[in-house]
Copies of this chain bind each other. A is one copy, B any other.
């Protein structure tokens, strides 16, 4: 089984980090294929950058259509998730989506902790229709950069965020964002509730979907498009819009 770990920004180091976390979480025999867009924001830290990045990640996915068994979006806002599902002939899972769904199986309500602002996560959980299962969001006052230079302080701050979410009724906590990827083992011991890592959940959910072999939709919003014309897009993406390939 080949799983594409698709970054939505153009920073290869983040792709590598996420691909490493994916490999650590994957079942034996699963090949992790890292992918980085050819263009777009270096790091996505605003809704504006996220909207621009949709084109880049779809462009990237089009290159791999038909050559991977599943895709995990390695980007905290699950950029262009529904569009990616319509584009690709294989299952596509978002890392934050996967962590939220796993959390749903651990108790009535989950919290989410991340670095920085929480508004985009609040919107994302709302878009997924899961707001009634969300007990709260905590934004830890750390940048990803500062977390790299002070990992111990970052872990302590995240642990405090987890504790405050648990006090607010969380039965589990999603670790939101690539910057928290891989932090779960170090926090696990001290946490009063289970913690969900996006890349680990994404990979395992993708494996489960591949095993379930869901048929591709032939009608409705998820059905592949056909005969659509475009201008200035990559040959691979334009071909998928025309219906020449994939599916």
Could you list which residues of chain A lie within 8 angstroms of chain B, going by C-beta atoms?
10, 25, 27, 38-43, 45-52, 54-56, 58, 80, 82-83, 85-87, 91, 93, 97-98, 101-102, 104-109, 117, 119-120, 122-123, 126-133, 166, 169-172, 188, 191-196, 200-201, 204-205, 207-209, 211-212, 214-223, 225, 228-233, 237, 241
* Max count, chain B CB within 10 A of own CB: residue among A43, A196, A228: A228
B contact residues around A52 at 8 Å (CB): 54-55, 58, 83, 230, 233, 237
Residues of B within 8 A of A54 (CB): 51-52, 54-55
Q: A192's contact among B58, B169, B220, by CB below 8 Å, is which?
A: B220
Measured between beta carbons, the chain B residues less than 8 angstroms from A172 are 214, 217
Chain B residue nearest in CB terms to A99: B212
* C-alpha spacing A56/B56, complex, angstroms: 12
From residue A185, how far is it (CB to closest CB) to chain B in Å?
10
Q: Is the CB of A230 within 8 A of B101?
A: no
Q: Which 9 A-B pairs have the closest CB atoms?
A: A39-B232, A194-B214, A51-B83, A55-B55, A129-B132, A42-B229, A204-B208, A107-B222, A48-B86
* Complex: A86 Cα to B106 Cα, angstroms: 9
- Whole-angstrom distance between the alpha carbons of A216 and B194 in the complex? 6
- Measured in the bound complex, the distance between the Cα atoms of B58 and A54 in whole Å is 12
Q: How many copies does the complex hold?
A: 6
Shortest Cβ distance from A88 into B: residue: B48
Given contacts A192-B217, A204-B208, A217-B192, are A47 and B129 in contact (CB under 8 A)?
no
Q: Give the distance to chain B from A58, nearest Cβ to Cβ, in Å.
A: 6
Q: A97-B105, A101-B104 are in contact. Are A193 and B219 (CB under 8 A)?
A: yes
Q: What residues of chain B lie closer than 8 Å to A126, measured between beta carbons? A: 132
CA distance A97 to B105 in the complex (A): 8
25 A-B pairs with CB atoms under 8 Å apart are A10-B230, A10-B231, A39-B232, A40-B233, A42-B228, A47-B82, A48-B87, A48-B225, A49-B230, A52-B233, A101-B105, A102-B212, A105-B209, A107-B220, A107-B221, A108-B221, A109-B119, A117-B221, A126-B132, A127-B127, A172-B217, A188-B215, A192-B220, A193-B220, A201-B208
